[in-house]
Structure 1
Amino acid sequence: MPLTRRHVTLGLAATLAAPGLTRAQDPVDALRNRALALPQLHAILVQRGDAVLLAEAPRGRGLDHAANIKSCSKSLLALLLGTAIARGEIPSLDSRLGDVAPSLIPRDATEGVAELTMNHLVTLRAGLQGTSGGNYGAWVSSRNWVAYALRQPRIAPNGGRMIYSTGTTHVLGAALVTATGQTLHDLARERLGRPLGIDIPNWTRDPQGFHFGGNEMALTPRAMLRVAQMMRDAGRADGTEVLPPDWITASQIPQTRSPFSGLGYGLGWFLSPTGWTLARGFGGQIIASHPTARLAVAITSDPTQPARSEGYFGTLMDLLDGPILALA
């Protein structure tokens, strides 16, 4: 049947009468609706290139107030290790704990901990029983967090399988402090905060005064997005090199695999088969970058609720791999 003016008029009228149909086809609106329907989600920012496509905070304290990023702290700690190696404060990833910070090792430490390298620590392959999960409470109640972590029973060889343990990254943080002569807070402000133009508030210290290495850091969602953008852009931000590009590249090469999510794990960053480089924190805190797709993402969530790989975190991965990656 030939198209008449009446058909065109009726079609236009139908479109105007159902504007939701047009909106539903917009990929950013579709992402917004899907994300805001997640009851645990506090804030989400998505950037493609230089354009922020989505910035919403349906719950929590908003986009400009600091949120506890939980174990995303481990990934930022890994970046600080990269700066220490670049400056020669720690010779290399193969440097041993017994050489970098022998004073941290207690007399009754588990055999072999002096031989642990910075690589073993940052990739969570120390071989010692973990201090996370059910062991977390006893560890943070101890008088010396570093010594406690280094006294844990050996359940794998140095450099063996990934054993998720905040005690391992806390030892790494203390080694960084010993090697540089600066607190982790000062290192984070000077080497990440200042070049990225973000504030990094002070955070929890252990009984010996070492800042928590791998937990309890806080960033605003906008600051998290700046970190994601820097990771996406090979260590650069606003034309300035924050991290050497070879460190970013090395961070994105899997050296082990998470026994929980199945994701690869590089130098402190999770790596997905679809090309995402991720920092992941309890409750659903995420700093994610996808260099090929030119995407940077920050997500904060209720820090009191779990986000298991087969639960809410899996839902967030579906969000990253589905409507967010579709924006590339």
Structure 2
Amino acid sequence: MLPLALSLSVGTVLASPPGTAPEQARAEFAQFDRLHTVIAAHRGEIFFEESWGGPGPFEPVNIKSLSKTILSALVGRAIEEGVLESVDQPVVEVLNNRVPPAADARVEHITIGNLLSMQAGLERTSGSNYGRWVVSNDWVGYALSRDFVSEPGEDRLYSTGSSHILSAALTDASGQSTWQLAQSWLSVPLNVRIPHWLTDPQGIYFGGNDMLMSPRALLRFGEMYRQGGTLDGRQVVSAEWVERSWEPRGTSRWSGDLYGYGWFITDLGGYTAYYGRGFGGQVLWVVPEVELTVVVTSSPNPPSPGGRYVRQLADVVERHLLPAATHADSSAEGEAG
């Protein structure tokens, strides 16, 4: 059998759980002008796949800040491989002369885990600060030289600069680019394509933004996490890392959802759901209890409807795709009985 990423043609439904939920979902999703592709799989079997203009299921697209979820997997694998010591390791230990001399001494207390959970304590480089950051001539140095607005490990302050520092740490600790690590640790074992993406002025691949992956590739990544870090019989990241990534460590000030290591945690129809998200409506949901994985890609171009749009997408998933999966589970249990 061909891998999931390659085996199906666009629009093919591999397996349809009972009921009309997929048809109802299709009609409601079609109302969103910026929506490109939606894929849903139950136990790894695609039962819903549709595209509405824009890139389709197999074309790599800009997944924006959903990149942070992918980066978290690379950090977990780096720890398993001994490239990084642990989440408790101070990041300055692996940065090759990248800390500006004028940086606050508290930078020495920022750990790998603090950066993953957005608890570095540094002033944010996201939001209204983003433009000034990305036109600077040293993205890592700029992020590290921000003022401290809380102590490391305390408040959660969403900042793409924190993720970019992690990309630099991976590069300096391994001697390979973040893209090269993504090829070895994700692209090859998952049998997916991860093209080159944007780099900073020093050649560090953008950590936490602008990665390129197709919806089908994201589905395989999500399925790997749903199955405890394993896909097609290969352990891609450890089950322990999956659990640690999904452990709540902070709360989003905007959505109220919990946040772990690159993953948000929320309630979806009474079930715990883990998700990554990016600007414009790039979303990956994993609902382990009902063995459901859902991928959404949308136009990444401004203006973005922000959190409201993601909540609207989640509402359709909750009312139609989630019941399709739970119905399938109930039917299977009835047959087994």
Give the alignment's TM-score, normalised by structure 1. Answer: 0.90
After superposition, where does 1:190-229 map in structure 2 within 5 Å? 190-229=184-223
Q: Tell me the CA shift for residue 172 of structure 1.
A: 0.9
For residues 83 and 56 of structure 2, what CA distance do their matches in structure 1 show?
Answer: 38
Q: 1:290 aligns with which of 266, 273, 287?
A: 287
For 1:269, the equivalent position in structure 2 comes to: 263
Q: Percent identical across equivalent pairs? A: 37
1:236-276 Cα distance to aligned partner (Å, 9 max, x none): 11111111000001111111011111111011111113311
Q: Tell me the CA shift for residue 307 of structure 1.
A: 3.6
Name the aligned partner's letter for residue 189 of structure 2.
Answer: P
Name the aligned partner's letter for residue 186 of structure 1.
Answer: Q
For 1:11, the equivalent position in structure 2 comes to: none
For 2:154, the equivalent position in structure 1 comes to: 160
Q: Tell me the CA shift for residue 27 of structure 1.
A: 1.3
For residues 291 and 284 of structure 1, what CA distance do their matches in structure 2 show?
Answer: 22
For residues 178 and 307 of structure 1, what CA distance do their matches in structure 2 show?
Answer: 37
**Quick check: 2:96–2:172 contact (8 Å CA) kept in 1?**
no
For 1:30, the equivalent position in structure 2 comes to: 24
**Quick check: 1:105–1:114 contact (8 Å CA) kept in 2?**
no
After superposition, where does 1:1-328 map in structure 2 within 5 Å? 26-101=20-95, 103-273=97-267, 274-304=271-301, 305-309=303-307, 311-328=308-325
Unmatched segments (≥5 aa) in structure 2: 1-18, 326-337
Q: Secondary structure at the match of 2:272?
A: coil
The size of the alignment, in residue pairs, is 304
**Quick check: 2:77–2:237 contact (8 Å CA) kept in 1?**
yes
**Quick check: 2:44–2:223 contact (8 Å CA) kept in 1?**
no
Name the aligned partner's letter for residue 139 of structure 2.
Answer: W
**Quick check: 1:282–1:307 contact (8 Å CA) kept in 2?**
no
Q: Tell me the CA shift for residue 112 of structure 1.
A: 0.5
Larger radius of gyration: 1
For residues 190 and 208 of structure 1, what CA distance do their matches in structure 2 show?
Answer: 22
For 2:331, the equivalent position in structure 1 comes to: none
Q: Tell me the CA shift for residue 314 of structure 1.
A: 1.2
Name the aligned partner's letter for residue 82 of structure 2.
Answer: G
1:199-233 Cα distance to aligned partner (Å, 9 max, x none): 00001110111000010101111111111111111
**Quick check: 1:308–1:314 contact (8 Å CA) kept in 2?**
no
For 1:16, the equivalent position in structure 2 comes to: none
For 2:332, the equivalent position in structure 1 comes to: none
For residues 159 and 50 of structure 1, what CA distance do their matches in structure 2 show?
Answer: 36
**Quick check: 1:102–1:114 contact (8 Å CA) kept in 2?**
no
**Quick check: 2:143–2:162 contact (8 Å CA) kept in 1?**
yes
Name the aligned partner's letter for residue 283 of structure 1.
Answer: G
Q: What is the CA RMSD across the aligned residues, in angstroms?
A: 1.3
Name the aligned partner's letter for residue 47 of structure 1.
Answer: A
For 2:6, the equivalent position in structure 1 comes to: none
For residues 143 and 278 of structure 2, what CA distance do their matches in structure 1 show?
Answer: 20
**TM superposition outliers: structure 1 runs of 4+ over 3 Å:** none
For residues 324 and 276 of structure 1, what CA distance do their matches in structure 2 show?
Answer: 13
For residues 44 and 77 of structure 2, what CA distance do their matches in structure 1 show?
Answer: 25
**Quick check: 2:183–2:194 contact (8 Å CA) kept in 1?**
yes
For residues 266 and 47 of structure 1, what CA distance do their matches in structure 2 show?
Answer: 24
For residues 114 and 175 of structure 1, what CA distance do their matches in structure 2 show?
Answer: 14
Q: Tell me the CA shift for residue 50 of structure 1.
A: 2.8
Q: Secondary structure at the match of 2:37?
A: strand
Unmatched segments (≥5 aa) in structure 1: 1-24
